[in-house]
Structure 1
């Protein structure tokens, strides 16, 4: 049977899975057409039921770590991971600031970044999770004064920014049991594996979803001719990479090809060249990182990546090859 396309989302608030499936598919189809694969774009959008899937797990983050008012009450390890993630974001912003060609903007933004670094460094000894959370909110408040967030309102408030980044911490802490059995991270991976199913699949995963999908595929026995990651934080040193399973992280055995796409202006994709930090599988597959350049100030959204011909073209080719091989 031809491979199905499975999308795996990243951080964020509640989603409409059916609506997201159409939006992601439409963006990918536009990229396919721009890459000269209009036939595959048409096939993608007119596919039979089940030929496309959106692996949704965002609702799992509403249980039980959230209090009645929606606030997040972190464990110690979750708070530590969040602090490390914010540190990596600040370090990425400092690197971007170093390359800024406008001297006035560089000086103004550097002052803000130095303040954020000082906030992260304050009272680093023997801090409780509540103190780290308050520090994270302070750092988020500082960062929201910078581009791109100031320009586009990606996160309208520090609490929203911290709550969404905290999803990475909650997944990687792996200690949050949920009603119905299993830890949060186990139930998230189960959702992804259920969407992938038994047949061959092309898995396209964004942001935190790339971490989830990589780990889930180590539990998958089916065929994945192509694994595509977008804006991935897998190589983020302080927060993500040390906590991945297996460790050191490796290409899943079921993956026949792994393409990783990153945008120079994507502040979430810290250390974007994953091949430096991922062990090959038995077939020698490692991530192949390819840079794309999107328009606009905030380039992290999945749809911006999916509409890139450089990304959509290989997915179209993999779909064509899968259809040709199908009995």
Structure 2
């Protein structure tokens, strides 16, 4: 039986699943070739290898207008009233956790200077909750200020060519909306549950290798806890799971643990990835009953915006283990 390979995307708007599947497959095949697995790369691109699926859920966020101060959670499926307040609270905590996590990493990085520390202190002050702060507009404006400050700081200043503070806040707001567990749909299920249902459908009854990026790593982790499907390898890239005060304590189940069906978990992070905060997940995620725990590995990509899925997938360190696992499940590929 051909193994299944499931890609789970991260933050961002609606996508063309067919085009995204082609892109992710091409990027991963590039990394496989660099890792010395040309046969696996050929099988992947030709469609003769794994059955590849792109688990798309970006459309469930609607337009996700969390990019301006007027209507940060507007659009179809947006959450009014109490649900919007829950998103406000999640976004506010996410801001603080984001800056605190970056500051913690800076303390351990010899490349950071006193100038960097001053900018981070300023961002920390901007992220701090305000007395009598009311309404989504206030929270979003605070988030815009923080994003603007951080994107002025090396090594992330070059990323401004690829992502603006407004887009950055929009992305963070998607994380907040997912973790708020609100926005019920027509069937009464919350946004988070509807998103996880897409992942469950893609994984099926397994076995499946799951590669999840950014917010997708949070979604996939929770979805795999709800499935009995065997997942020989779970790969997370650019993950925010370790954000200690915003993401980590909101995960289900609590405390976070490796799903029982997962046979191996590799977590990859880039030092210059502004969203991969507290990336050493083995510190914060418990092993499953089989003793499987996350193993975090650093990669280094060129370019200004290293958070993209393509940057990670083309890394030999990421693609190599995927190729090896797929080959084992398929009984081998010609070299």
Q: CA 1:122 to 1:188, structure 2 compared with 1: closer, same or farther past 3 Å? A: closer
* C-alpha separation in 1, matches of 2:163 and 2:208: 36
* C-alpha separation in 2, matches of 1:49 and 1:122: 51
Aligned to 1:288: 295
Gaps of 5+ in 1: none
Aligned to 2:73: 72
Cα displacement string for residues 171-191 of structure 1 (whole angstroms, at most 9, x for unaligned residues)? 001021123441100000001
Q: CA 1:84 to 1:249, structure 2 compared with 1: closer, same or farther past 3 Å? A: same
Aligned to 2:315: 308
Q: CA 1:62 to 1:282, structure 2 compared with 1: closer, same or farther past 3 Å? A: same
* Equivalent residues of 1:206, 1:229 under 8 A apart: yes
Residue 61 (structure 1) shift: 0.6
Moved more, 33-42 or 130-139: 130-139
* Equivalent residues of 2:8, 2:56 under 8 A apart: yes
- Candidates 114, 122, 134, aligned match of 1:128: 134
Cα displacement string for residues 31-84 of structure 1 (whole angstroms, at most 9, x for unaligned residues)? 1111111000111111259810000000111179879x8742672221222122
Gaps of 5+ in 2: none
**2:239 counterpart of 1:232:** yes
Aligned to 2:223: 216
Aligned to 1:250: 257
* Equivalent residues of 1:2, 1:200 under 8 A apart: no
* Equivalent residues of 1:152, 1:298 under 8 A apart: yes
Moved more, 217-226 or 112-121: 112-121
* C-alpha separation in 1, matches of 2:41 and 2:246: 37
Q: TM-score, normalised by structure 1?
A: 0.89
* C-alpha separation in 1, matches of 2:129 and 2:295: 39
* C-alpha separation in 2, matches of 1:309 and 1:66: 35
Q: CA 1:232 to 1:156, structure 2 compared with 1: closer, same or farther past 3 Å? A: closer
- Name the SS for the 1:228 alignment partner: strand
Residues 5-84 of structure 1 correspond to what in structure 2 (within 5 A)?
Answer: 5-48=5-48, 51-62=51-62, 71-72=72-73, 75-84=84-93
Q: CA 1:129 to 1:241, structure 2 compared with 1: closer, same or farther past 3 Å? A: farther
Aligned-residue Cα RMSD (Å) equals 2.6
Residue 97 (structure 1) shift: 5.2
